[in-house]
Amino acid sequence: MRIIILTTETPHHLYFIKKISAFFPINGIAVESRILKPDFPTQHSFESARDRYEIQELLGGRKVRFDDYSETRVFHNINDDASIDFVSGLNPDVIVTYGTGLIKKPMIRLCPEGIINLHGGDPEHYRGLDTHLWAIYHRDFDQLIVTLHRLNPKLDDGEIISKAKIQLKRTSEISKLRAENTKLCVKSALSALSGFKQLGSFISWPQRGKGRYYSFMPAPLKDICVRNFTNHLRQL
């Protein structure tokens, strides 16, 4: 089973690669370098704390590189012709996408039955960006869900393979939420890859609803998220 991963370079994505490679050989990694930025401020102080925490908690404070785990190529856009050629030349059985921009048809056609996406949210309720933060903003804590789904040309629209809920405790912190999300992503991906290895396909079911699309969350709204999260933990 030849596995290719499409991702971006962040501490939690490096951790994901590290954990998957401990169970399955990764035959190639395509990294998207472009960074989409809205025309309004989005950075919040908890995100700097989040990044520091992930480097220590997920990577043990060590410098980790994608090249440590597989042949790696960096592309500005994951849909660039060079990226398509790279992935095609690796003859993938499975393509796992985690954290890239929208994947377009030429990439999907390389592995139409085996391309899957990890989404930090439930696409039947929240699609797009910052979906866990938007759920917290709406005090919708039951929607802190990790979804693995088949990938098609429509954003977060493919059939569901699995869902898992992030379990919060009174000691949880919003700066640690993405790390917990990533640990669930690892479990979901490993389970799905094991099933694919045995069956030669993914078992999935159609989405029953289409969630609202969300874009970048502005920084002032993240202040509200922090308050909502803190208040919710006090009630646990």
| pLDDT recorded at residue 54 | 97
> In which band, very low, low, confident or very high, does the pLDDT at 155 lie, cut at 50, 70 and 90?
confident
Query: What's the pLDDT tens digit per position in 174-217?
Result: 999 999 999 999 999 999 999 999 999 999 999 999 999 999 99
User: What topology is assigned to 3-234 in CATH?
Assistant: Rossmann fold (3.40.50)
Query: What's the pLDDT tens digit per position in 10-59?
Result: 999 999 999 999 999 999 999 999 998 899 999 999 999 999 999 999 99
| pLDDT recorded at residue 36 | 87
Query: What's the pLDDT tens digit per position in 108-154?
Result: 999 999 999 999 999 999 999 999 999 999 999 999 999 999 999 88
HEC assignment per residue over the chain: CCEEEEECCCHHHHHHHHHHHCCCCCCEEEEECCCCCCCCCCCCHHHHHHHHHHHHHCCCCCCCCHHHCCCEEEECCCCCHHHHHHHHHCCCCEEEEECCCCCCHHHHCCCCCCEEEEECCCCCCEEECCHHHHHHHCCCHHHCEEEEEECCCCCCCCCEEEEEECCCCCCCCHHHHHHHHHHHHHHHHHHHHHHHHHHCCCCCECCCCCCEEECCCCHHHHHHHHHHHHHHHHCC
**For the chain, which residues make up each domain, given as ranges?**
3-234
User: What's the token pair of residue 146?
Assistant: 């990790």
Query: What's the pLDDT tens digit per position in 89-104?
Result: 999 999 999 999 999 9
Query: What's the pLDDT tens digit per position in 59-80?
Result: 999 999 999 999 999 999 999 9
| pLDDT recorded at residue 135 | 98
| pLDDT recorded at residue 235 | 94
Q: What is the mean pLDDT of the chain?
A: 96
